[in-house]
A and B are shown apart, each in its own frame.
Chain A
Amino acid sequence: MAAFLDVAGAEKRFGSTTVLGGVDLAVARGEFISLLGPSGCGKTTLLRMVAGLLAPDRGRIVLDGRDLTTTPPHRRDVSVVFQSYALFPHLTVAENVAFGLKARRRPAAEVAATVARFLGLVQMAGFADRPIRALSGGQQQRVAVARALAVQPKVMLLDEPFSALDRKLRETMQIDLKRLLRELGTTSVFVTHDQDEALTMSDRIAVMNRGAIEQFADPVTIYRRPATAFALGFVGLSSRFDGTVTASEGGIITVATPAGSLRAPGRFLPGSPVVLGIRPERMALGDGADGPDRNGLDATLVEVAFQGARAHLYLAVGGGTVVTVEAPEVPAGAAPGAPVRLSFAVADMLAYPADPDPALLAAAA
């Protein structure tokens, strides 16, 4: 598939800090992708570059076959929904939505029709003549989306547009926005530090860390097969074991960890420092009968977190490591201090080379 939006080798430094270190990103027409990462990972810098609000030190940005690298923002056909919405406070709702159309000198009748259409699409038709300050956060967000979409941009950029909304409203708005963008076929780049948001909305997710994209894949792959220890730690819950490979045979490594000896799929030389991970729903409380394809650990129950549809159990294993197990419900007789046996499949383990960088360890923790 030919890339509709193609960022190649984008690099940005501020002084001696590299904010973005030669990032490549290819987005297909009509695709919804997320840039997901912690603050300072370069995701907003990348978004501002695509919008033309920031010039890359090196690299190219091509949109629909046109090189935009040095094009000013107002000639790019790239809309932005800002985190703070950046609605014009001196204009009404309808005037805000009309702003981009008027800037493009569209005829008045067309402006009015387009404004009405997009206010309708975001369910704000009855608010056309209201001043901005009379709107709630959710309503302002809808107006910001309508304003950005009304110019029918080639790419829509969204900079954490949900972060100011409360959780319940956020989930409704996410679904609404995703459906709207799919119906309009708008290519979208969404910046977020919220992994749930990225998993819910995206066709593909670019997991970013320290100015680089660590993995760019669909949400299922990102969750099931994280490419790096950082991606594993940042997306979804996981338990983590640091250790050293003691044996490697037939694609299965045996790793000595403070919690005990564990096996995992992987090809590492004996003696290599590695990081092992596993998702909470892949672990279960066992009966001690571990098969050859399962790992087993003795553990002590530390805390139970009831979450409605499921429960999270926090268990202490050897070496001070605490692991998280997801259970369909709180087990009978579960009390802090109770000894339990953990069992999990070797095939469900994920293994990564240990990264010596303490910043990464902190980010993944």
Chain B
Amino acid sequence: MRRRIDPVALLALPAAAYLLFAYGWPLAALLVRSVHGPGGFSLAPFAAFLSDPFSWRVIGNTLSTAGLTTLVCLAVGYPAALALAWSRGIVQVVLLLSIILPLSVGVVVKAYAWQIVLRRDGIVSQALVGLGLWSEPQRLLFTETGLVIGAANVFLPFMILPIYSVIRLLDPRLRAAAATLGATPLHRFLRVTLPLTLPGIVSGIAFVFSLAVSMYVVPSLVIGDRYQTLATLTGRAFLFMRNEELGSTTAVLLLAMAVSIVVGSTALARRLGSTG
């Protein structure tokens, strides 16, 4: 049988053409620059970068903030997605609005807001002291904890919405069937709801991790220059250090991470989806 291109795929042509022009071309230029030194093709910039212990700390920072942010989003977002999917009427509308509306607030605004909230005399510090959990006011601003809190706030909707859309499609009779078969609420959740919502969890993790691994504005404003991630280092390399070689090297590493996350999670979600 001859393989032909599905004509429906042509509907994606304008978007594909735009992305090719506005995104693919500069990206290709970047890729070329990262492996093309004055003496022709060379992996030397990568070797140089990876042999520097500072680089490994930057990579470590990047992965740990992105990983922690993803975990916080999952821990907070999964129950929120359940509440959103299982609530009814006005409660559901309010929940949905409170998840979607913050998306309309710019990330710069949010980051500045967190600067205020996380200060030594900010509301978090005062509340924890007031509750007796902290003996004296402390500064969360410019700490990794503060960064994760701020980033989780910015990316939370990208965890909740994919999980919510999977839970919403879940047949409620499956839980009813599990209940009539003698399963306690916990057993129902662990054996029915959780495994069937894994595809949503996987795509939520992929969204949040790939956004958090490449975030620039939040770390710049919440933690500052002392704590570098691949994204902030890329920015610094191009904007302040004028070191295009370093910038394209870190950018390509970042890209490789993001691509492997997207490809890996898509494959995983597809496998989970086919059994589900």
Contacts and interface: CB of A to CB of B under 8 A. Distances in A.
Given A90-B195, A99-B191, A76 B174 contact: no
Interface stretch (B3-11, B73-81, B84-92, B175-183): B175-183
A99 B179 contact: no
Contact of B177 (A72, A86, A90): A86
A100 B171 contact: no
Contacts of A151: 181-182
* Residue of A73, A84, A87 ringed by the most chain B CB atoms within 10 A: A73
Contacts of B174: 86, 88
Closest 7 CB pairs between A and B? Answer: A100-B181, A86-B177, A86-B173, A103-B183, A73-B179, A103-B182, A80-B180
B268 to A, nearest CB: 14
B196 interface: yes
B199 to A, nearest CB: 10
B170 to A, nearest CB: 10
Contacts, number: 74
Nearest to A78: B180
Q: Would you call the interface of chain B mostly helix, strand, loop, or mixed?
A: helix
A72 B175 CA distance: 13
B275 A84 contact: no
B179 A72 contact: yes
Interface of B: 171, 173-174, 176-185, 187, 191-192, 195-196, 275-276
Given A74-B183, A74-B184, A84-B173, A99 B276 contact: no
A82 B177 contact: yes
B181 A86 contact: no
Contacts of A100: 181-183
Contacts of B176: 51, 53, 73, 80, 82, 86
Contacts of A82: 173, 176-177
Interface of A: 51-53, 72-80, 82, 84, 86-90, 99-100, 102-104, 131, 147-148, 151, 157
A74 B178 CA distance: 8
Nearest to B191: A99
Given A74-B184, A100-B182, A80 B195 contact: no
Contacts of B184: 74, 103
A86 B171 CA distance: 8
B275 A51 contact: no
Nearest to B175: A86
Nearest to A132: B275
Given A84-B173, A86-B174, A88-B192, A103 B181 contact: yes
